[in-house]
C-alpha cells in the first residue's frame, strides 16, 4: 500500500487522494475492496498489486462479509437479505406471523421481569446475530440495543421481545441502506449515550450536512 502512495486511514483502510481523484482499499484477511472515482486509477492499482501477488479479480462488488451490494443507475443498495433469511431458517421462523414494527409500542423491559431462560446461551447467540444485522438495518438498532442489555440474565419477556424483532425481519428481509447516485448530501454523524441509575436512556444525535 505504501508503495502505491496510500496512507492508513483506519486499521484496515488505506486512502490516496489527489485534486482530481481518490482511491480507497479496504482489507479483510486476504480480500481487498477497492473503490475510486476513476476507473483508470483502479486498473493501475490492481496491476501494481498483481505484479507482487497472485490476484483473483471478481470485478464488480456483489458480496462482502455477508453484505449484499446491488448497483443500479439510481444508486447502491446494501443489504443482508441472505443472512436474514438463513437466520430465520436456522431458528425455524420461516412461517411465523409477520410484524411491521421491530418492537411493540410502549414496551418496557427491565432486568427483573419474569422467569429466567433455561438456555441463556441461545439468547446471547441470537442477539449477536441481530447486532451484526444492524450494519444495514438501522431500523432495528434501538430494539436490539435494548435487548442486548439483558445478556447476563435473559428472561422470558426479553425472548418474546426478540421474537418480535424476528417477525419484523420476516416481513422485511431485503430492507437495507440505499445510497442515491443523484444526491450531493454529505453525511456527518455524531452519537452520545446517556445512562441514568434509575432508567436507561440511550440517545443518538445525528446531523446531516
**CA–CA distance, 57 with 79 (Å, rounded to integer):** 22
pLDDT on residue 194? 59
CA nearest 127: which of 100, 177, 91, 170?
Answer: 91
pLDDT on residue 207? 47
Tens place of pLDDT for every residue, the chain, 209 residues? 767 788 888 888 999 988 899 999 999 888 899 999 999 999 999 988 888 888 888 878 888 888 999 999 999 999 999 999 999 999 999 999 999 999 999 999 999 988 999 999 999 999 999 999 999 999 999 999 999 999 999 999 999 999 999 999 999 999 999 989 888 877 666 666 655 555 555 555 544 44
Give the up-direction half-sphere exposure of residue 158: CA atoms within 13 A in the CB hemisphere: 28
List helix spans (H) across the chain.
Answer: 39-50, 81-90, 120-133, 141-147, 156-171
**Domain range list for the chain:** 1-57, 78-176
The cell numbers describing 179, all together, are 445510497
According to DSSP, the β-strands at 75-79 and 176-180 are: antiparallel
pLDDT on residue 76? 92
Q: Is 59 exposed, middle or buried (0-12, 13-18, 19+ CB in 10 A)?
A: exposed
Q: Is 8 exposed, middle or buried (0-12, 13-18, 19+ CB in 10 A)?
A: exposed
The cell numbers describing 36, all together, are 475510486
pLDDT on residue 54? 85
pLDDT on residue 91? 94
Amino acid at each position: 500500500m505504501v508503495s502505491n502512495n496510500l496512507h492508513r486511514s483506519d486499521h484496515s483502510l488505506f486512502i490516496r487522494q489527489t485534486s482530481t481523484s481518490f482511491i480507497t482499499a479496504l482489507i479483510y484477511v486476504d480480500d481487498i475492496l477497492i473503490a475510486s472515482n476513476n476507473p483508470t486509477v483502479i486498473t493501475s492499482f490492481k496491476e501494481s498489486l498483481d505484479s507482487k501477488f497472485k490476484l483473483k479479480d471478481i470485478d464488480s462488488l456483489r458480496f462482502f462479509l455477508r453484505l449484499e451490494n446491488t448497483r443500479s443507475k439510481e444508486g447502491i443498495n446494501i443489504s443482508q437479505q441472505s443472512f436474514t433469511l438463513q437466520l430465520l431458517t436456522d431458528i425455524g421462523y420461516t412461517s411465523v406471523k409477520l410484524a411491521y414494527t421491530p418492537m411493540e409500542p410502549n414496551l418496557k423491559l427491565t432486568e427483573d421481569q419474569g422467569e429466567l431462560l433455561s438456555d441463556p446461551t441461545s439468547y446471547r447467540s441470537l442477539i449477536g446475530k441481530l447486532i451484526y444485522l444492524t450494519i444495514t438495518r438501522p431500523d432495528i438498532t434501538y430494539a436490539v440495543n435494548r435487548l442486548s442489555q439483558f445478556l447476563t440474565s435473559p428472561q422470558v419477556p426479553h425472548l418474546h421481545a426478540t421474537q418480535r424483532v424476528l417477525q419484523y425481519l420476516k416481513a422485511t428481509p431485503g430492507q437495507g441502506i440505499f445510497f442515491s447516485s443523484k444526491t450531493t448530501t454529505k453525511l456527518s454523524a455524531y452519537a452520545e449515550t446517556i445512562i441514568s441509575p434509575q432508567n436507561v436512556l440511550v440517545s443518538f444525535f445525528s446531523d446531516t450536512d
